[in-house]
Structure 1
């Protein structure tokens, strides 16, 4: 008598269990690989464009709305040294993000079934792309519109010369906020896949999510309308994209026996 589908599913991971110490060793190795990746990315960025070049790049949006001869200032004694290092470290993490996400996948992959492994790596790549898209959206759209809006309220007798330390902290916080906010489709897809919520529930929650998006945008962005709308509106759009993608993702990652059962039900109707 042939084995049942559930028995086959159990056999796929049978014998792959490892002791707790082995898991800790694997975790240590993956963390070391993450550190090596970040260090390599930092070394490459230190060579080109260098910490100063990175500062110049992230300062482009605000300098576009400052007088031609104006520069950002460094109030702190150690700011000219530590701020470029902070920017270099953050840029290195962003550059190594796909590698970091791969290490996460490699750590959990032994505990996944074959039908789950097929889509885990594309999901990580998609999440990395969304993070980069959120940061690019900040750099090339949000900052320009935000600083243009702020400069309109600057009196003619006031010279707007921001401190480089506070400027970098504000920009990095926006990068993180938008990078995380752009993960909404990933979160929606995983919630549906693990049956924590249904697509119908997500659709009925649409109005509440719109309100939640504007509340989150008001909390994590500067107190200007431009940046708040620039975060809230994409979150709502990405929520809708996540609902559409969740149906495909949930069906595509079903175990083979569930998919066969569903096809049999559909054929019998």
Structure 2
């Protein structure tokens, strides 16, 4: 049996159901069964995440146990939110769904690599984490940039190449590489950032610039000539990917359209 975030929301509705409410002791028993079933499938990697999880489930536990009908659903919704964030069930289910990625094949790649990034971060396999998290970011970037008309792609590339060196972080892309699939990771981030399409904030773009070289660890020659990545590096890579997911999703939800810089 797989327990999901929706089960905690459903429990809240049953507690406040005017016709068929769960009795206090039954609701408390169901709650404990849900927690026991979902916890083995949670993967928490962010700092303080476990503390927040224990705080939220204890707060909901008290409300359910004490029959606080008006309060329980709100606390259970808080638990459901964390379950959605950290849930990684066994099998092929996505640890996190990325429905805002419109290209189905890119979405599948991103969701699989997000699973891989989270699980490898938990194992403290920093190299796999950094490469996988970077793949998620690249899939998001390609999904946004690929549909742009070829003439506008060239216009965007020329604009970014023409920025002052400090504003483009000393990045440039050969005019021979005229498709987003040929652009390297750092240039894709530049294109999505505040100097380009403005999907990402300046702060997130700056973080991406700091982490941009980590994806190159996929190449043996890079790995042998650079210091090994630490577990902290892996967690930073996950955090950066999380920020890109958050901002790209918000950009899509706001219904914003791409504006090619002049």
| TM-score, length-scaled by structure 2 | 0.32
Q: Which structure is higher in RCO with an 8 Å CA cutoff and minimum separation 6?
A: 1
Which protein has the bigger helix share?
1
Bigger CA radius of gyration: 1
